[in-house]
Amino acid sequence: MKLNYKRTILVGFAFFLISAFWQAYDTIIPLILTNKFEMEQVWSGAIMSLDNIFAVFLLPLFGTLSDKVNTKFGKRTPFIVVGTVLAAVFLAILGFIPSLVAFIAVLLLSLLSMATFRSPAVALMPDVTAKPLRSKANAIINLMGTAGGMLVLGISIIFKTDEKGKTDFSAYLISVGIIMVLALVAFIFTVKERLWSAEADAENERLERERAPETDAVSEKRDLTKGEFISLILILASVALWYIGYNAVTSKYSVYASKVLQVPYNVTLLVAQGAAIVSYVPVGIVASKFGRKRTILAGVLMLTAAFTAASFIKVGTPEIVMYALFALAGIGWATINVNSFPMVVELAKCGDVGKYTGFYYTASMSAQIVTPIFSGFLIGKLGWWVFFPYAAIFTGLAFVTMLFVRHGDARPEKQGALEALGGADD
């Protein structure tokens, strides 16, 4: 069984345009709020957290709704088309709005538009991919998303969005909207959702019959067993825990680097991102050989080790040490990220992939709402020394919860001595 890389790349155009939007949103909206509308940082931060708050409630809703839709274009495609067009239009309009109230209103509409298709877009990959190949496919999807973000970053350099005091970002936002629409056009004319989903369903059914030939209705929708339900809760708890640790670092490292380490932050973050990019595909291959759970556990160990070691970095520490630790963190994060989502949707039954995609995002987004506030509170009370230990503790806890997961793994392509470690599926 081999992954159809061409199909996966084409499906990845949906994730490409999603990442393009969020790259622009995360970098430009704060500048508009502070530079153009002269908003205080605390209120700017509150508005910037709205996307995560929306996500907690709306991603599961629209993921479940897309499970129930059945059109000639498929389940997910109608959501992707309508949501992308609306989000691109609202994003382009934002640069021309002179009133803060009107700006926030249109911003909310753009976030709502993104929420309508984010879960359906992500759910499309497992829809059209046989279960054992989903880690490999998710690696390609992540690469497509990274490409979208990097393209928008490149355009931001052309439009000089980092100029001090800049308030006019209209041309840049229009350009990002155009990129989103072009990616959507490529998606519409190349992705055959209904056909590819039917083929993946047939392959999954064949695999299930090989595993349990006595089962006559392998595709029949049924409730999770007690063991599967416990594994789902443990996986989602693990997702929340490692996001609490990881996002605490990514959301405050720029301040930590300048105030505590007194070094530029951008190079070390680029090293981490670069290490993650080159790791995506190899990590997917490793997971297909040794299983997703073991691969994730290795990634969590790498991330925890990197954060623990970073706790001892001081002013004057050689930059090469920092680069090495951030590269390790990037590889660890890629190892986790590529395999965790496929584990969640592996437990989804017939017609529930969008719903389970929503579960995954509820766990991750809830963590990203809580951790900047909680870590900021601890830093304010105890000092910056808690910065990396805080992250290491929560990623370490994620290792513990993940260790007890017994379902959601794909069958490794080859079994060996490692099968005895980490627990196989019940």
CA atoms within 13 A on the CB side of 124: 30
For 40-52, write each residue's pLDDT tens digit: 756 776 787 788 8
Of the two residues 44 and 354, the one the predictor is more confident about is 354
CA atoms within 13 A on the CB side of 346: 29
Mutual orientation of helices 13-31 and 134-158 as an angle, nearest 10°? Answer: 40
User: Which pLDDT score, from 0 to 100, does residue 425 have?
Assistant: 39
Alpha-carbon distance of 287 to 326, in angstroms, equals: 22
For 17-66, write each residue's pLDDT tens digit: 999 999 888 778 878 888 889 887 567 767 877 888 888 888 889 988 99
For the ranges 211-220, 279-288, 338-347, the lowest mean pLDDT is seen at 211-220
Whether 215 has a pLDDT exceeding 60, the answer reads no
User: Which pLDDT score, from 0 to 100, does residue 205 have?
Assistant: 85
Whether 358 has a pLDDT exceeding 60, the answer reads yes
Per CATH, domain 226-419 is 1.20.1250.20: yes
For the ranges 259-263, 312-316, 373-377, the lowest mean pLDDT is seen at 259-263
| Residue 392 token pair | 């290491």
Of the two residues 424 and 186, the one the predictor is more confident about is 186
Task: Summarize the confidence of residues 125-148 as an average pLDDT.
Answer: 88
Question: Residue 173, class by beta-carbon neighbours within 10 Å (0-12 exposed, 13-18 middle, 19+ buried)?
Answer: buried
What is the value of pTM for the model shown? 0.75
Q: How many residues does the chain have?
A: 426
Do residues 313 and 412 make contact, with C-beta atoms less than 8 angstroms apart? no
Looking at domain 5-209, which of 3.30.559.30, 3.30.930.10, 3.40.50.150, 1.20.1250.20 is its CATH number?
A: 1.20.1250.20
User: Which pLDDT score, from 0 to 100, does residue 217 have?
Assistant: 43
Task: Summarize the confidence of residues 275-297 as an average pLDDT.
Answer: 88
Could you tell me where the DSSP H helices lie in 128-225? 134-158, 170-190, 193-211
User: Which pLDDT score, from 0 to 100, does residue 406 have?
Assistant: 92
CA distances to 212, 247, 313 from 262, rounded to whole Å, are: 60, 21, 12
Strand partners, 71: 74
Whether 422 has a pLDDT exceeding 50, the answer reads no
**Nearest residue to 167 (alpha-carbon basis) of 12, 30, 273, 313:** 30
For the ranges 240-249, 269-278, 357-366, the lowest mean pLDDT is seen at 269-278
pLDDT band at 298 (very low <50, low <70, confident <90, very high): very high
Task: Summarize the confidence of residues 287-301 as an average pLDDT.
Answer: 92
Cβ partners under 8 Å of residue 76, min gap 6 = 66, 117, 120, 121, 123, 124, 127, 193, 354
Whether 423 has a pLDDT exceeding 70, the answer reads no
Q: Do domains 5-209 and 226-419 have the same CATH topology?
A: yes
For the chain, domain boundaries: 5-209, 226-419
User: Which pLDDT score, from 0 to 100, does residue 264 have?
Assistant: 67
Max alpha carbon distance in the chain (Å)?
69
Q: What is the full DSSP assignment across 281-334?
A: HHHHHHHHHH-HHHHHHHHHHHHHHHHHHHTT--TT--HHHHHHHHHHHHHHHH
| Residue 268 token pair | 């070390």
Give the whole-number percent of the chain exceeding pLDDT 90.
43
Phi, then psi, of 128 in degrees rounded to 5: -105, 10
